Amino acid sequence: MSRVNGWSLPLNTLQAVAWITFLVMTFTSFGIFIPLLPGVWRHVAYGVSFTLWVTGVLFLFHMVVHLMAVSTDPAEPNVRIKNYKRPMPTFDRTKHEHVIQNQYCHLCEVTVSLKAKHCSACNKCITNFDHHCNWLNNCVGSRNYWCFFCCVASAVVGLFCLAVVIMYIFIQYIMGQDELRTDPHFKTITDENTWLFFLPLFPVRIKAPVLLITGAAVLVLDIVGLLMLGQLLLFHLYLCAYCCAPP
Burial class (CB in 10 A: 0-12, 13-18, 19+), 177: middle
- pTM of the full structure: 0.88
What letter represents residue 130's amino acid? Answer: D
Q: Is 133 a catalytic residue?
A: yes
pLDDT in the model for residue 37: 83
Q: What are phi and psi of 79, to 5 degrees?
A: -80, -40
**Of 119, 122, 125, 133, which one is the catalytic site residue?**
133
Least confident of 13-17, 72-76, 186-190: 186-190
Mean pLDDT value across the chain: 87
pLDDT at residue 8 tops 70: yes
pLDDT in the model for residue 51: 31
Residue 2 vs residues 41, 79, 171: alpha-carbon distances, Å: 49, 10, 52
Report the alpha-carbon distance of residue 158 to residue 64 in Å, rounded: 14
Residue 223 pLDDT level (bands cut at 50, 70, 90): very high
Q: What are phi and psi of 206, to 5 degrees?
A: -140, 165
